[in-house]
Structures are given as structure tokens and as C-alpha cells.
Structure 1
Amino acid sequence: MTLSPEMKETVRKAQIDEETGAILYGYLGRKQKDEKNRKVFSQMSSDEKAHAAVWKGITGEDVVPKRNHILFLKILTVIFGFTFVVKMMQKDERVGRERYGMMCHELPQAARMLEEERSHENILYNMLDEERLHYVGAMVLGLNDALVELTGAIAGVTFALANTRLVAMTGIITGISATLSMAASNYLAERAEGNAEALKSSAYTGAAYLVTVALLVLPYLLLPAHMYVAAFAVMIVTVMLIILFFNYYISVAKEEPFLRRFLEMALISLSVAVISFIIGILAKNLLGIDAL
């Protein structure tokens, strides 16, 4: 079969994608505890391998899969979980379908593969059932509350105490107390609503809160006592990164709008920080702390 250089390069890219997909699906299959999911991923890996063999028959080349991409998605699986990675892979599937759509008029094999790519996406959607996504509401509760309360508290005492160690101590005590309080409140609320998994829900809430506390206090522990302004600036950047990170995760895993949620959380957290900062300065002056 004689193909144009452009089409041959398109086929080669398709071959690389199929080889990469075969490895990724195989990896996800081995990670699954659910037997049905494991079998489906195994079948999908075999399909991708078969597709790659067809394209190899045209290119006559042995291609190298996208090793960095594979490693990246494996790391994401550990950090974000199964659902997040599958959603990202669905985007790759859509790109593959577009490529096959362009190839159909020259290569009849592409039409059959296009149907199989569509089938892959439908299967993936039906498989998505990850435990951690059942508790997104609990994680949002812990994260939001920690960002608002701790950002405000730390902003309020940073310029009043003017010492990173004192601020860190205040943040740790406040954060741990608030974590236990928030987890207990969530447990009681879930129990009152008859949730059989109330303890697990409260654990997710507490974990999200505690991780946020640790990240916000960390700059004050790492920087010297007199660099409280720099520590405060790093904390604000950390807040924005946490909001960005979490909302990106939710936007991909739950297919919810990213920008609106990000701006909403950022505005609330920064507004509280500004108000608390003003209150801290006023309290410092009114109580005469400078004179002590």
C-alpha cells in the first residue's frame, strides 16, 4: 500500500498510541481488585496491541511507546486514583478517534478500529466506581474549612506575633484542635443522617483538614523566626496551589467546571485572609502588644 508521507506519519503516531495504550491498560488491569474491571482492562489491552500490530504491518517499524507518558500516568494513579487516570485516558481515546476518522477514507482498517475506540470509552464510563470519589463531599468540607479557618487564623497572628515559630505553634495547636473538632462534627452529622459509613466519611474530612494544616504551617517551620513576611507570602502561594490542585482533580474526576470552583474558593480564602490580617493588626495596636 502506497501512502503519502503525511498519512504514513499519522499511521506511525497511531501505532505509538496503541502500544502505549496497551501497556497502560495492562497496568491498570493488574492494579484492579475487582475481577470484572481486571478482565475488561485486559481485553482492552489486547485490543490496543492488536491495533498496533495492524499499523506495524503498514509502517514496517517497531515503535517505542511513550515511556515518560506511561510513567507519568502510573504516578498519577498512585496519587489521584483510578478514576482520574481513566478520565485522562479518555481524552487520549478522543484524540485517537479523531485520527482514525481522518484515516478512514484511505485505510479501511481504521473504520473498524474507530468503532472499537468508541466501545472503549463506553466501557470506561461504566467501570468508574472508586471509593474515594464517594467521599469527595467530605474532602471538600475538610479542605474548605481548613483553608478558610487556618488561612484566616495564620494571617491574623503573623503580623501580630511577628515570629515564624510563634505563628507555627499557634497554627499547629489551632489546626490539630480544629481537625479533631471537624472530624467529630462530620461523624455526628453523618450518623444523624443514617450513613453507615459515617466513620470513614469523618476520616476523609479529618485527613483533608490535617494535610492542609501541615502545608500551611510548613513555611513558618522552615524559615527563620524573623522572616515572617516571607513565610506569609509562601503560605498564600501554597493556598492558591492547594485550591488549584484540588479543583483540577475534581474537574477531571467528576467532570465539573474548573474555573468557577477555583475562583470561588480562592476568593473566599483570600478574603478571609485579608479580613483576619486587618483584625490582627488592629488587635495588636489596641492591646498594646508593641509596648510589651
Structure 2
Amino acid sequence: MAHELNLKKALAQQQNEIDDFTIYSMLSVSDKYEANKLIFHKISEEEKGHYTYLLSFTKQELKPRAHVVFFYLLLSKIVGISFTLKFLERREEDAKQFYKELIAIDDKANAIYEQEINHEIELIDMLHDKKLLYAGAIVLGMNDALVELTGTLSGIALAFDKSVVVGITGLIMGIAAALSMAGSAYLESKENIGAEIKPMTYALYTGVSYILTTAILVAPFFICEKISVAIIWMFFGAVLIIGLYNFYISVAKDLPFWKRVREMSYITFGVALISFGIGYVVKHYFGIEI
């Protein structure tokens, strides 16, 4: 029974190895940076060696799973290779355990175990990932939109009586602020950021991230008639944005996830609470209703 279980584990790991070999091989062809190509080729050869090693145990040839390969290649195009490959390597925790157990059966597994622990992550940390270079622009646009719009929408939601009016006001302010922020980001990148970053692209990342964040935050006010319900959904959208972005950064840059989520949440919801209070005062004492 134990032998059957080990065979299943070996086949599962062998499947991962042939999938990874295919992913890295295709990246070594498609990536435009020569240094990256060399890294991908090196890792792909190691994955192929792991596959061949396991084949000696299982005696079963396996083919790469097209949907798995397609998913990771598509992900690399959307969010960059650093996030994609570190996300891919997270499943290596099971691989480490598997090869650690295999050492008791065959000493050759020790070399693969060492590679799984150190070598691949070290290589991935050397990758040139242009999308990651623009992470600062995304933070600039997204974080500013979160703080400014959650605060603004919370404040005017109490001053106005119509949900759609809140949404339109927030949308106009958001688009205007996005254009202003993009312009500021362009000038900042020309003065303070390294030569690898193009000012126009940096400004575009900033503006687009601001507008996308704006769209998510104001959408509930166009959908929900009750302002109280729209505010709840707006905060849910803010939490979702904060969570998704910090998950990306925590994986791509090996940064603490929950610490960053807490910091952004405190700032965002602190400003929103203050603005909510100001809106209450304006409505209660000045009687403004639109």
C-alpha cells in the first residue's frame, strides 16, 4: 500500500516537473531579455532532469498539461514573470517534502532536494521583470485613489440624498484626479526614477490604476439606490483592491502580506471615517440635500 502511495506521489510530482519544464522552455524562447533567457533555459534543463529522474521510478511517460502551461504563460504576460514564477514555485513546498522522503530510498534525490530549496528561487530573484519596475506607479495611483475617493465618497454620501449623484460626483473627481496624478507621475519619473523606466509608461500605469480603482469604488453608487448599501459595497471593493494588490506584491517581492494590508487599510479607512464625520456635520448643521 505504501508503495502504491509513493507511486502516486511520484507521478504527481513527475507531472509538475514536465509542466514546469515546458513553461520555462517556452519562456526562454519568448522573453526578450537575454539574461532572462539564460536563466529560464537553465531552470528548464533542471526540471527536465527531475522529470527524467522520476521516470526511472515510475516507468511512465507523461505529457505537459496544456491548460496549466497556458495559464502560467498568460499570467506572466498580465502580471509579469516575477509574480508568476514565484507563484508557481510556491507549490514546490510539496516537492521539497516529496524529495526529502525520497532521499531515504535513493541518495541521488538529495541533489534535487537542495535545488528545490535554494537554486530556483535564487535564479528567479535575478530576473529582469519590467512590470515589477512599474509597481511604484501602480501604488501611487491606486493608493491615492483609495484614500482620496473612499474619503470623498464617504463624506458626500451623507451630504447628498441620491446615490447616483454621489457616483457621478466621485467619477468626475476620480477622472480629473487621475489625469492630474498621471501628469505629476510623469514629471516625477523624469527627475527621480532610474533610466530603465520610461516616464510616459510610468504616467500611464499611474493614471490607469487610478481610473480602475475609481471605477470599482463608484460602481456601487450607480447600482444601489440606497446610499448605505452602496457605501458598504464601496468598502468591500476597497478591501478587495488592497488584498489583491498586496498579495501580488507580497509574492513578487517577498514582502509581508498582512503587515502591508493593515497599513493600507488603516490609512484608507481612517481618512474615510474622518470624511464621513465631516459629511455628517455638513448635513446635520447646514441641511444640504441634493
| TM-score, structure 1 normalization | 0.86
Structure 1 partner of 2:206: 205
Tell me which moved more, 196-205 or 157-166.
196-205
Structure 1 partner of 2:18: 19
Structure 1 partner of 2:3: 4
In structure 1, what is the Cα distance between the partners aligned to 2:149 and 2:49? 54
The offset of 1:252, in angstroms, is 0.7
Unaligned runs of 5+ in 2: none
In structure 2, what is the Cα distance between the partners aligned to 1:287 and 1:236? 26
Change (3 A) 1:278 1:5: same
Structure 2 partner of 1:218: 219
Task: Check if 1:125 corresponds to 2:151.
Answer: no
Structure 2 partner of 1:49: 48
Task: Check if 1:32 corresponds to 2:31.
Answer: yes
Change (3 A) 1:239 1:58: same
Structure 1 partner of 2:242: 243
The offset of 1:140, in angstroms, is 1.3
Structure 2 partner of 1:146: 145
Structure 1 partner of 2:264: 265
Tell me which moved more, 171-180 or 202-211.
202-211
Secondary structure (helix, strand or coil) at the match of 1:33 reads coil
CA RMSD in angstroms comes to 2.5
The offset of 1:152, in angstroms, is 0.6
| TM-score, structure 2 normalization | 0.87
Structure 2 partner of 1:285: 284
In structure 1, what is the Cα distance between the partners aligned to 2:194 and 2:114? 42
In structure 2, what is the Cα distance between the partners aligned to 1:69 and 1:194? 37
The offset of 1:68, in angstroms, is 5.7
Aligned partners of 1:76 and 1:85 also within 8 Å: yes
Tell me which moved more, 276-285 or 43-52.
43-52
Deviations along 1:33-84, one digit per CA (max 9) or x if unpaired, are 2234234424433442343233223223345656665454344323321110
The offset of 1:120, in angstroms, is 3.1
| Matched ranges for 1:62-211 at <5 A | 62-63=61-62, 69-117=68-116, 118-126=118-126, 128-193=127-192, 196=195, 197-211=198-212
Residue identity matched to 2:121:
E
Unaligned runs of 5+ in 1: none
Residue identity matched to 1:79:
I
Change (3 A) 1:20 1:192: closer
Structure 1 partner of 2:229: 230
Aligned partners of 1:93 and 1:121 also within 8 Å: no
Residue identity matched to 2:25:
G
Deviations along 1:10-41, one digit per CA (max 9) or x if unpaired, are 32232122122123223433431223423442
Residue identity matched to 1:214:
A
Aligned partners of 2:179 and 2:207 also within 8 Å: yes
Deviations along 1:259-282, one digit per CA (max 9) or x if unpaired, are 111011111111111211121121
